[in-house]
């Protein structure tokens, strides 16, 4: 029986662990509190991933990282996590699959391909780029096998995602959608379940190592289009949608998440589309239809008191 270690039990880590277990593999999920999905082939381990990971990953075919420190502590804490993952993969021989995102590319006036040079202009972009470069350097030195998966903005129940902060609750409550962005440019959206499917496909392929892979995109709709589509699928009135003014954005900076999101504004003020054609050519993956994803989001919110107008 193949054995995998998944670090992190958020929506992507949980979905990845379940896909592996349901296929017959054994999975150890590592989180600080020992939380994670219930399944006969999933073992939950409570541990700090920055220490003791080699013992937990001993005998694993792959080490799949779906964890990151709290958003506002990336610069201080991500290097230790990255070093621990690299060390565990090198000591155990497990293939290291890192879940990242598109921050490392920096601003680009073209669709983002997975071979685009990393030229980050933000603090969080530099964190993501360093994790990839460190992993790739170790791979090229023959110390371990490394690959990375990069999604766009998440769509999914429980995800730390701008859709779940600025669009979903407002549409369900019949309120105005106010989003800090150009509302009418194309923007890629990735379903969390498709992220998990990509992680599993990449982990099981001998041809995946030594490069990055984009996930299938469930939609490249603009923010305005996505808000109106969600209203239709959820059976709610069509929302008023407008861009957040500079004053509103400044006022919102009392929220720690908004403070940390401010440097990533360039991704929402221009077209931001991920090209996943290389992934499509290599793996038998297709995106989950957008309406299926939106129906799942709408159904999960039923009975949520925060939806009250």
Decide: pTM greater than 0.85. Answer: yes
Please tell me the total count of domains within the chain.
2
- DSSP for 170-206, please give it: HHHTTPPEEESS-TTS-B-EEEHHHHHHHHHHHHT-T
- What SS3 state is found at 84? helix
Q: Is the pLDDT score of 289 beyond 60?
A: yes
96 and 226 within one domain: no
Q: Decide if 278 is inside a domain.
A: no
309 in a domain, yes or no?
no
Q: Do both 84 and 163 map to the same domain?
A: no
**pLDDT by residue (tens digit) across 37-86?**
999 999 999 999 999 999 999 999 999 999 999 998 999 999 999 999 99
pLDDT per residue over 146-191, tens digit each? 999 999 999 999 999 999 999 999 999 999 999 989 999 999 999 9
Residues 112 and 239 in one domain: no
- Domain annotation covers residue 307: no
Taking all residues of the chain, what is their mean pLDDT, rounded to a whole number? Answer: 94
Q: What is the pLDDT of residues 96-118, one digit of tens each?
A: 999 999 999 999 999 999 999 99
Confidence check: pLDDT of 304 > 60 = no
pLDDT at site 48: 95
Q: Are residues 80 and 159 in the same domain?
A: no
- Mark whether 37 and 160 lie in a shared domain: no
Least confident range from 202-206, 210-214, 251-255: namely 251-255
More confident residue, 216 or 302: 216
> Domain check: are 162 and 108 in the same one?
no
Residues 114 and 160 reside in one and the same domain: no
Q: Are residues 78 and 97 in the same domain?
A: yes
Q: Which domain holds residue 51?
A: 3-152+192-214
Do 165 and 97 share a structural domain?
no
| Residues 124/263, Cβ–Cβ less than 8 Å | yes
Residues 176 and 67 reside in one and the same domain: no
- % of the chain residues with pLDDT over 90: 88
Question: Residue 277: inside a domain, yes or no?
Answer: no
Cα dihedral sign, 185-74-63-155:
negative
Inside any domain, residue 282:
no
Per the domain annotation, does 264 fall within a domain? yes
Higher-scoring residue by pLDDT: 301, 4? 4
Looking at residue 265, which CATH number applies to its domain?
3.90.25
Say which CATH number the domain at 110 has.
3.40.50.720
- Nearest-angstrom CA–CA distance, 57 and 3: 9
Same domain as 251, residue 110: no
Q: Residue 281: inside a domain, yes or no?
A: no
Residue 35 belongs to a domain: yes
pLDDT score of 251: 72
Could you give the residue ranges of the DSSP H alpha helices within 5-98?
11-22, 53-56, 74-92
Q: Both 256 and 131 in a single domain? A: no
* pLDDT band of 259, cuts 50, 70, 90: confident
């Amino acid at each position: 029986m193949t054995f995998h270690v998944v670090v992190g039990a958020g929506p992507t880590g949980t979905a990845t662990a379940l896909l592996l277990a349901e296929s017959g593999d054994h999975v150890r999920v590592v989180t600080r509190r020992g939380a994670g999905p219930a399944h006969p082939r999933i073992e939950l381990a409570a541990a700090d991933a920055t220490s003791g990971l080699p013992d937990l990953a001993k005998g694993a075919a792959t080490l799949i990282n779906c964890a990151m420190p709290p958003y506002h502590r990336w610069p201080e804490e991500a290097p230790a996590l990255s070093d621990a993952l690299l060390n565990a993969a090198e000591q155990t021989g497990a293939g290291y699959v890192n879940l990242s995102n598109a921050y490392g590319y920096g601003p680009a006036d073209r669709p983002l391909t997975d071979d685009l040079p990393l030229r980050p202009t933000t603090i969080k972009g530099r964190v993501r780029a360093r994790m990839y470069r460190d992993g790739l350097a170790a791979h090229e030195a023959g110390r371990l096998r490394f690959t990375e998966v990069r999604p766009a903005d998440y769509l999914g129940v429980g995800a730390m995602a701008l859709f779940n902060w600025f669009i979903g609750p407002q549409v369900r409550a019949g309120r105005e959608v106010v989003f800090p962005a150009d509302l009418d440019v194309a923007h890629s959206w990735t379903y969390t379940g498709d992220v998990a499917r990509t992680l599993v496909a990449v982990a099981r392929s001998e041809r995946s190592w030594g490069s990055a892979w984009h996930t299938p995109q469930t939609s490249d709709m603009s923010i305005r289009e996505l808000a109106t589509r969600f209203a239709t699928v959820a059976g709610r009135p069509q929302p008023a949608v407008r861009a957040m003014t500079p004053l509103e954005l400044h006022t919102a900076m009392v929220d720690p998440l908004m403070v940390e999101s401010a440097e990533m504004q360039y991704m929402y003020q221009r077209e931001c589309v991920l090209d996943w054609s290389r992934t499509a050519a290599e793996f038998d993956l297709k995106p989950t239809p957008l309406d299926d994803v939106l129906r799942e989001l709408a159904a999960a919110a039923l009975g949520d008191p925060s939806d009250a107008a």
